[in-house]
Structure 1
Amino acid sequence: MALRQSRMLGPARLAGIVDVPASTIHRVLVRHGVNRLKWMDRTSGRVIRRIETSRCGELVHIDVKKLARIPPGGGHRKLGRAAAKGSTGMGYTHIHTAIDAYSRLAYSEFAGTENTVNCVAFLDRAVTWFTECGITIERILTDNGNGYRSHAWKHRCGELGITHTRTKPYHPATNGKVERFNRTLVDEWAYTRLWTSDSQRARTLDPWLHRYNHHRHHTAIDGPPASRVNNLAVYNT
């Protein structure tokens, strides 16, 4: 167990070190609840406390993902680093996301930097969107960004009747569902094409989100997110 926690190795590689069959090691890892590396914090090796929910809206994860801006004509992915050298330093766009822990239904938008004004404004729009989907947000989990530690954020959550919880500092895995969504966002949308501009990529976010929510099979829930939301499937067009 010490090797598993300190070096984050799988059964096959551990078997070569301790001279025990990989199948035996796997059974031991299952018994201790650490058979999946994604359940462990990569910094400390500790098991991440998995948050279980039983209904939509019980917990919504919120986070911001930064993407490098794409200069007109395309960035280095399209033009090559040499050709795009003069276009570096354009800064970032910020995608704010709210994802329901139970259904994995996600709402994302370009909402500016992580300052208080933008975070509170995004919260309002996210609450409206989830309400239209028939979901009432009860609790929100965020990281410790300045926008989420502000008085304005706390006050607005109170007005909306939402309980706000922050992750433990330097442990982003606690907010794992939205962190995983961010990786999907990057792998299946943001970097899947050779975009010629930032605006070209931005126009495709909503269609991609619709596919994610209504069509993309999510292995953890054995179906698309919309399938876990009462009556939402009827809006799948």
Structure 2
Amino acid sequence: MHITYSTNPHLPRLRAKAVEMLRSGKSLRQVSRHFGFNASTISRWNKRVPKTGAWLIPTKSSRPHHHSKELSPNITNRIVELRRALKGRCAEVIHGHMIRENIRVSLSSVKRTLDRRGMTKKKSPWKKLHYSIKRPEALKPGDLVEVDTIHLMKDEHSRMYIYTLLDVHSRWAYAKAFDKLSNPNSIKFVREARGLAPFKFLCIQSDHGSEFSKRFSKLIKLTHRHARIRKPNDNGHLERFNRTIQDELVSHLTTNVRIINKQLPEYLNYYNTRRLHLGLNLKTPAEVLQRY
């Protein structure tokens, strides 16, 4: 914001005319009397204009170079020193240290100083807002079915993926390996799981991965809920299954889609019908499903 000491719109041109008259041969005193300005003022205007002349001499901003209540360099430097010494601790902690050092400064001043020095994390302007429907209670099989992917390195340059799915109420699970992530593969996987599951899917929950995009939501023809950002517990049951299947099966096999898919049916049968689950009071998913 520019604050000027005059709002007269004609003054810039008047200054230029005064300089023109002075350079035409008139004395400084004559020009001063003609325009009604002090001789020293006319002289300053003349110094601002190049030898080639000027049509206007703009009014300079009268904004002060420093605020009357700005922090001293010693205080701002100390704020920066503490930020670095405390390994990026927040403004509240830095403010607390400064109070202990008997340095009088407000918390807002500490925050403002860190912001001006580029030492704060700004919210990304590209970050999208993600809205999730209310998480349904898993009161019966199919009320909430979680789906996710496990990423595995085949070699230094390529990956493979295991799609995983788990019903939160019964812990019934399904998995299949693919060479790539895509909406078509996601849809194919969920449709296969629906065909094998002994219950109806009512709500699918996934993360915000590209393989579970709006196109997936539209084509799957099910209620699709996205897990909340930075809420790992939203998909907690499936994350536990992902660790289990890696520990008990995948880690013992070659990272190959064909080999893993050959072994998965036997393991899933064991997981769903014979493996006792602490979360189910030492029952199997199949035993839970028998009640429905």
Q: TM-score, normalised by structure 1?
A: 0.60
Q: Which has the higher contact order (CA 8 A, sep 6+)?
A: 1
**What pairs with 1:1-237 in structure 2 (closer than 5 Å)?**
52-69=137-154, 88-89=155-156, 91-130=158-197, 133=198, 135-151=199-215, 153-158=216-221, 162-191=222-251, 193=252, 195=253, 198=256, 199-222=258-281, 223-230=283-290
CA distance in structure 2 between the partners assigned to 1:146 and 1:197 by the alignment: 23
CA distance in structure 2 between the partners assigned to 1:97 and 1:196 by the alignment: 18
CA distance in structure 1 between the partners assigned to 2:248 and 2:254 by the alignment: 17
Q: Secondary structure at the match of 2:220?
A: helix
- Does the CA-based 8 Å contact 2:143-2:203 persist in structure 1? yes
Q: Deviations over 1:93-131 (max 9, x none)?
A: 21111111100000111134221111111121121112x
Paired residues, number:
157
- Does the CA-based 8 Å contact 2:153-2:255 persist in structure 1? no
CA drift at 1:231? 7.6
CA distance in structure 2 between the partners assigned to 1:177 and 1:103 by the alignment: 11
Q: Deviations over 1:122-178 (max 9, x none)?
A: 121121112xx2x00000110001121232x122233xxx21100112333311111
Q: 1:176 to 1:50 in 2, by over 3 A?
A: farther
CA distance in structure 1 between the partners assigned to 2:255 and 2:243 by the alignment: 21
- Of residues 166-175 and 100-109 in structure 1, the stretch that sits farther from structure 2 once superposed is 166-175
Letter in 1 for 2:224: H
Q: Secondary structure at the match of 2:279?
A: coil
Letter in 2 for 1:62: V
Q: TM-score, normalised by structure 2?
A: 0.49
Q: Secondary structure at the match of 2:164?
A: strand
Bigger radius of gyration among the two: 2
CA distance in structure 1 between the partners assigned to 2:244 and 2:145 by the alignment: 17
Gaps of 5+ in 2: 1-133
CA distance in structure 2 between the partners assigned to 1:116 and 1:213 by the alignment: 27
- Does the CA-based 8 Å contact 1:63-1:96 persist in structure 2? yes
CA distance in structure 2 between the partners assigned to 1:227 and 1:114 by the alignment: 33
Q: Secondary structure at the match of 1:204?
A: helix
Q: Deviations over 1:5-46 (max 9, x none)?
A: xxxxxxxxxxxxxxxxxxxxxxxxxxxxxxxxxxxxxxxxxx
- Does the CA-based 8 Å contact 1:59-1:140 persist in structure 2? yes
CA drift at 1:57? 0.7
Identity %: 27
